[in-house]
Amino acid sequence: MLKTTLVLLALLLPACPALALAQITGNRVGDLEVVQPWSMELPPNAPTVAAYFVIRNNGKTADTLTGVESPVAGSAQFHEHISQDGLMKMQQVQSVEIPAGGSVVFAPMAYHVMLLDLKDKSKLVDGQAFPLTLHFETSGDINVDVPVLKQAPEPIDTTQHNH
Ligand SMILES: [Cu+2]
């Protein structure tokens, strides 16, 4: 019943991609949403900080994460962990594809955002949060507030949809 109502509502909305692009609310843009952003509190002298989250694509076409920035850092990169010669190491990737109807998990020992050249360390302590902007090739930008935690949160079920 709820689904039928939603479909009807969708049919009533004017099909206007430009307008849809402008309607950026919170942690979603278009068919993309960023859920459970977080960062681990590190010692004050840590040179870099990582940010984690899950990106869901509820749409029928893939999109690509192409860039990231934060006012707390001079630069920010996407990293992945790879196993090379029996060692785990991280390396920069230029972009990350978010498959249609799928999700990509940014987590310790997986994809993560690496913040370099840290500017404002006052927000990098437990209980604070810092802004992060993610750029997507098709959908545009998503702004998230990344809470800083002492411990990793319970991983969310990436197969679950919240509608
Ligand atoms: Cu890294």
Q: Are 76 and 55 in contact (CB under 8 A)?
A: no
pLDDT at 21 over 60: no
The alpha carbon of 150 and the centre of ligand 1 are apart by a number of angstroms equal to 18
Say what percent of the chain tops pLDDT 70: 80
Report how far residue 92's alpha carbon sits from residue 112's, in angstroms, rounded to the nearest whole number: 10
Q: Are 103 and 155 in contact (CB under 8 A)?
A: no
Tokens describing residue 65: 């994460």
The alpha carbon of 44 and the centre of ligand 1 are apart by a number of angstroms equal to 18
The alpha carbon of 67 and the centre of ligand 1 are apart by a number of angstroms equal to 15
Residue 129: what residue type? A
pLDDT at 24 over 50: no
Query: Where are the domains positioned within the chain?
Result: 2-149
The alpha carbon of 39 and the centre of ligand 1 are apart by a number of angstroms equal to 12
The alpha carbon of 8 and the centre of ligand 1 are apart by a number of angstroms equal to 45
95-110 pLDDT tens trace: 999 999 999 999 999 9
The alpha carbon of 40 and the centre of ligand 1 are apart by a number of angstroms equal to 13
Q: Can you give the pLDDT at residue 154? A: 86
CATH 3.10.50.40 fits 2-149, yes or no: no
57-94 pLDDT tens trace: 999 999 999 999 999 999 999 999 998 888 889 999 99
Q: Can you give the pLDDT at residue 122? A: 93
The alpha carbon of 70 and the centre of ligand 1 are apart by a number of angstroms equal to 15
Report how far residue 55's alpha carbon sits from residue 57's, in angstroms, rounded to the nearest whole number: 7
The alpha carbon of 78 and the centre of ligand 1 are apart by a number of angstroms equal to 7
Q: Are 105 and 39 in contact (CB under 8 A)?
A: no
The alpha carbon of 152 and the centre of ligand 1 are apart by a number of angstroms equal to 16
Report how far residue 110's alpha carbon sits from residue 90's, in angstroms, rounded to the nearest whole number: 9
Say what percent of the chain tops pLDDT 90: 70
- For residue 4, what pLDDT band results from cuts at 50, 70 and 90? low
Distance from the Cα of residue 19 to its chain's centroid: 23
Which secondary-structure segment (H or E) carries 2?
A: helix 2-12
Q: Which residue has the higher pLDDT, 1 or 126?
A: 126
The alpha carbon of 15 and the centre of ligand 1 are apart by a number of angstroms equal to 40
Rounded to an integer, the average pLDDT of 38-55 is 94
